[in-house]
Structure formats: C-alpha cells, structure tokens
Structure 1
Amino acid sequence: MGRKNYLIEGGSGTGKTAVCNELRRRGYEAINGDRELAYQGNPETGEPVGGITGVAVHRHHLWRVDKVRALAADQREALTFFCGGSRNLVKFIDLFDGVFVLEVDLETLKRRLDQRPEDEWGGRRTERDLVEHLYQTREEIPSGGIAIDATAPLARVVDDILRRVQSTEPA
C-alpha cells in the first residue's frame, strides 16, 4: 500500500490534540502540527516574526512548509495523520489524501475552553472571543473536509476517522 497523508483539522477546542494522542497510542504515525511544526510567522511570506502576543499569535500560527513536505514524502509509514491548524494551510493542503474536520456544538466548545488554563490558547477572554467568532464563521476550516462528530467519546471519534480511511483503500 502506498503512503497516505491525512489532515485532522478543526477549530480550537474540537479535540485535535486528543485525537493525535489517541492515534499515537494505537500505533499510528500522528504529528501534532501545533506543537511539532508550528512557529510564529508572516502569513504572506512565511518569514518568522517575533514579539507577537494576544490574538495576533493565532493569525501568525504557521506550519513549516518544508518540514510538512518532507514528512508527507516519507514513504516509511502506510498512513500519517497531521493534526492541528495552520494559517498557511493553502501552501501544503495538496499533500493530503483527505481532510477530516472535527466538529462540536457551541456548548461543548465553551465547556472545553472553560477547562483550559489561561496560559493555553483559548484560555483568555480575548482568545475565546476569537475562537467563538471563528466557530460561527468557519472562515479557517478547509472546504471539502469530511465532518467528524467530535462530541462523541474519543475512541469513537478515532474509530470513525479510521473507518473512513479504510473505506477509501482499495480492497
């Protein structure tokens, strides 16, 4: 089987990190893009920028395109899942064989954000306001992604993703 790359996307608080950790626990290659690929950069040029604070951090949250391309080209694993969000997704979305979008209702989102400490993204009021705005507008969610009900228990969410991946594989 050839290598396949999948993106697990969704707004803040939808469960991307939890899904990444569960995929890893099950033995899949899963990359937490927000922790392993991200940096603060100019969304137009990709040049790193420093001194960004507050909600501007979100707008400058980019993934290292060269690293994403190298990981996607690596054929050692049959499946690789990239989990997280990036403002420069347009520069590498073509590398993915499929995109899964984790979705939750607003009440679940607010409950999850309530559990975040203030030093974690979405823990401060201004960040929460932006998260809720992005939830309402869906302006950063890639179109054409496969919606996944992320209000279900984590094991079921991951089972659903894996079932959908397997259904696209040739028999």
Structure 2
Amino acid sequence: MGIRNYLIEGVSGTGKTSVCTELQRRGYHALHGDRELAYQGDPETGTCTDSATHENHIWDVDKVKALVASQNEAATFFCGGSRNFSKFIDLFDGVFVLEVDLDTLNRRLELRPENEWGGKKAEREFIARLHQTKEDIPRNGNIIDATAPIEHVVDEIIRQSEVNKR
C-alpha cells in the first residue's frame, strides 16, 4: 500500500464512497474499506458474528496492518467506517473526518434505496443521532467540509495530505 496511509471516516452519508471513487479516478491508490475490508464481527475480539448490525460492522485488523506495512504506493487512502477503528487508527499518517450539516445528510440519505444502509427511516434516524453525538467517528481527525462538490472535497484532502508529508 502506501508509504503514507490515510483514513477517511465520517458517518453514513457524508461521502466516503464518493471520495474514494474520485481519488481512484484521479489515479490515487484508494480502498473502499466497506467493500474490501469490512465484515460483521465483534468490535473487541474480531470474532465473526451472524448479527448484521451497525455495531458489528468492523474491518479486518490484520489485513489493515498488512496493507499499511506494504509500501508499494506513495500514498494510500482507506475510505469507510468501522466500529473497531481504535484497533488500527494509530497506524495512519493522518485521519480525515468528513462532515456535513444535518439537512445535507438527510437529503443524501433520502436518495438511498431502501436496501442500502441508511435507506430505511429507522436507519436514517439512527444516523442522524450519530451525526449529532459523533460517537462513531475518530475524535482527532482533520475535519473536511463534505458539503462542497466532491472535486473540492478531494482537493482539500489531497492538499492536507501533501502538507502532512513534509
């Protein structure tokens, strides 16, 4: 993965997937963590569970460690959310937290199909609570205003990651 590694986090609907796709489009090495690293497991032990819940949405810590240790790219961006980020957050050179206002978040979530996380009313209400409490996101990340067009959001992440490497 990268000589420098960055985590891009935020509550559902803030744009993590869109940021990852835009980074890839621009030629950056970026991983869709929710697709490539995630599974349902106990956040403390990592043991797989049959329970498909928000609380059990975790990343494979050993896989994250192995990817961070590899240095095939100048930079790698790990995009997505996990309930066990505390198990690997210290491995990253920087953490970016995408933030939007509640109106923007609600508009984005209302566009999701019902079979996608955040597509059901109860899930949207839960996400709104997480948005308010910020209990599910890293506390020490660089805040990125993700209400801007995706190109500007990614420009800012790249700018800050370039500053960070000096």
TM-score (norm 1): 0.94
Q: Deviations over 1:1-34 (max 9, x none)?
A: x810000000000000000000000111101111
Alignment match, 2:12:
12
Query: 1:88 offset after TM fit, Å?
Result: 0.6
Q: Deviations over 1:43-85 (max 9, x none)?
A: 22110011x24xxx10000000111011101100010000001
Alignment match, 1:46:
46
Equivalent runs, 1:1-171 vs 2, <5 Å: 3-50=3-50, 52-53=51-52, 57-170=53-166
Distance in 2 between residues matched to 1:76 and 1:103, nearest whole Å = 30
Query: 1:86 offset after TM fit, Å?
Result: 0.4
Query: 1:144 offset after TM fit, Å?
Result: 1.2
Distance in 2 between residues matched to 1:97 and 1:8, nearest whole Å = 11
Q: Identity rate of aligned residues, in percent?
A: 64
Q: Deviations over 1:103-138 (max 9, x none)?
A: 000000000000000000000111111101100100
The runs of 4+ residues in structure 1 deviating greater than 2 Å are: none
Query: 1:141 offset after TM fit, Å?
Result: 1.4
Is the partner of 1:78 in helix, strand or coil?
Answer: strand
**Gaps spanning 5+ residues in structure 2: where?**
none
Query: 1:168 offset after TM fit, Å?
Result: 2.0
8 Å CA contact 2:94, 2:164 repeated in 1: no
Matched AA of 2:87 = K
Is the partner of 2:127 in helix, strand or coil?
Answer: helix
**Gaps spanning 5+ residues in structure 1: where?**
none
Query: 1:39 offset after TM fit, Å?
Result: 0.3
Distance in 1 between residues matched to 2:6 and 2:44, nearest whole Å = 24
Is the partner of 1:30 in helix, strand or coil?
Answer: strand
Query: 1:167 offset after TM fit, Å?
Result: 1.3
Is the partner of 2:73 in helix, strand or coil?
Answer: coil
Matched AA of 1:4 = R
Is the partner of 1:3 in helix, strand or coil?
Answer: strand
